[in-house]
Structure 1
Amino acid sequence: MLAAGEKADAKQRLIEAALRVFGEHGFKGASTRAIAGAAGVNIAAIPYYFGGKEGLYMGVVGHIADQITARMSPGLRAAEQLASDSATTPEQRRQAMLALGDRFISMMVGTEEAALWARIMVREQFDPTEAFDVLYSRVMAPSYMAVSRLLGPLLGLPAESEELKLRIFSVIGQALIFRVARTAVLRRLEWDAYTPDRLDQIRAAVRANIIAIMDAGRPA
């Protein structure tokens, strides 16, 4: 009988292996035998720990949500606190927006784990399953709401206005493109990889665009 630590280790290895296999082949194309082999466990471990392939996939999506939340929550909490304080100045809102952009780039572009998350997240955009609801409620919606509460007053737009929602998607999308279109970015810039200096260049470019969006709401 496996000890508690061994069980936790086996579950974690299955999650890590499944993250790669599901990302490469999608849910339908992923083989539970291949996942178990990559994790170094018996195939029976999948129904034992997760109830089956579907449960394992949901476990992987929950893992992605956990990882993103852990990295983004400090910045989102700070943004929410600023947004809810009536004494917060427009400049403080602007700086909080820029800080969120920097944090997002560091997470989604500057970490190798994000390449694995992005494969599954993009698949869920094209062919959503019930897992999309997990990603939306735990990852996307909290980020959108925090940005909305910071950016809306700067632009003079109501929180539920379509214009504000579109602006927010443009803010997030311009940062996300450096992950989902990484191959095109590297080829066009003649880079071989994202280095710390190049990440600084990406942050600067995204910051310039965020500033332009925020400045659109300033009085002439």
Structure 2
Amino acid sequence: MQRELFPTSPNKGEQARRRLLLAALKKFGEKGYENASVREIADEAEQNVAAIGYYFGSKERLYAAVLEGIGEHLRGVFSEVAAESRELLASGEPDVATAQSIIKRMLRTLLGEQLEGSEFEKIRLVMLREQAAPSENFELLYQKTLKPMHELFTRTVGITTGEDPTSTKLILRTHAMFGQVLAFTLARATILRRLGVKKLQAAHKVMIAELLDEHVDLICGGLAWKGSER
């Protein structure tokens, strides 16, 4: 079941607020924070400009609310696998096979969000802009969502490789594992051209997921073996 962005109640006022958030997300993604005007956002949401001041106070606060909503969405998407990972880490003697299975689920979850047809399509451009040129509000997204998720994933990877989860090397390794999925967003046009298709089909998605599983087995298994040889 797909999670909804900026979920709210059926209340008319709350629905108007949500329309402004979705409109702002679209315009900030298309034009960037500086170039997206409150007039454009209000028109997209079919609201008057004063509604932005009423619900958010200012354009800056509207943008902060957009990033907070993105963070809330991502935490919801990863909630189940994150809870399973925390339970494993708290067990005292974490099982390597279970950790490896969780890593696969994390990557598959991220893959599902990255591919076409998900809510990630709506947040993709804002996320890319924040990664390329972080705004002052990036800390909202980083501290509450990206950092905790990255740390959790790194600790889980550390179980399978035997590496220190606080080490620079494992942090970089974990980021590289994330990166193989993010490539399907950042370099989507290239892979579509290489495959000769206009969009990835169901069979492509299955194959990508299977390849990710293979990579997890090879990376984690190879590094565990390398560690045992020392």
TM-score by length of 2: 0.89
CA distance in 1, matches of 2:223, 2:169: 12
Structure 2 CA distance for aligned equivalents of residues 135 and 87 of structure 1:
32
Change (3 A) 1:58 1:43: same
Where in structure 2 are the equivalents of 1:50-199 lying within 5 Å? Answer: 50-199=56-205
Structure 1: which 5+ residue stretches go unaligned? none
Q: CA deviation at 1:104?
A: 1.2
User: How big is the shift at 1:110?
Assistant: 4.8
AA partner of residue 28 (structure 2)? F
- In 2: Cα distance, 1:106 partner to 1:164 partner: 24
Q: Give 3-state SS (helix, strand or coil) of 1:129's partner.
A: coil
Q: 1:207 aligns with which of 203, 208, 213?
A: 213
The answer (yes or no) to whether the contact 2:29–2:126 under 8 Å persists in 1 is yes
SS at match of 2:78: helix
Name the SS of the counterpart of 2:166 in structure 1: coil
- AA aligned opposite 2:205: L
**Counterpart in 1 of 2:48?**
42
Q: Say whether residues 1:29 and 2:35 are aligned partners.
A: yes
Q: Distance in 1 between matches of 2:116 and 2:92?
A: 34
Q: 1:56-91, CA deviations, whole angstroms, 9 ceiling, x for partnerless residues?
A: 111111111111111111111111111221343211
87-96 or 59-68, which deviates more: 87-96
Question: What CA distance in whole angstroms lies between the structure 2 residues aligned with 1:197 and 1:97?
Answer: 22
State the 4+ residue runs in structure 1 displaced beyond 4 angstroms: none
The structure where helix makes up a greater share of residues is 1
DSSP 3-state at the match of 2:134:
coil
The Cα shift of 1:30 comes to 0.3
The answer on whether the counterparts of 1:69 and 1:138 sit within 8 Å (CA) in structure 2 is: no
Amino acid at match of 1:137: Q
Once the two structures are TM-superposed, the CA of residue 167 in structure 1 deviates from its matched residue by 0.5
Q: Check conservation: 2:94, 2:159, Cα contact below 8 A.
A: no
Instruction: Give the Cα separation in 1 of the matches to 2:144 and 2:189.
Output: 28
Pair 112,99 (structure 1): closer, same or farther in 2 beyond 3 Å: closer
- Residue 108 of structure 1: how far off its partner (Å): 2.3
- RMSD, aligned α-carbons: 1.6
% identity of equivalent residues: 29
Provide the rounded CA distance (Å) in 1 between the counterparts of 2:84 and 2:113: 17
Superimposed CA distance per residue, residues 94-136 of structure 1 (whole angstroms, 9 cap, x where no aligned partner): 1111111111111222543212212111111222112211221
8 Å contact from structure 1 (residues 118, 180) kept in 2? no
Q: Tell me how far apart the structure 1 counterparts of residues 123 and 104 of structure 2 sit (CA, whole Å).
A: 23
Maintained 8 Å contact 2:161/2:220: yes
The DSSP-based 3-state class of the residue aligned with 1:27 is coil
Equivalent-residue separation in structure 1 for 2:118 and 2:107 (angstroms):
18
Q: Aligned pair count? A: 217
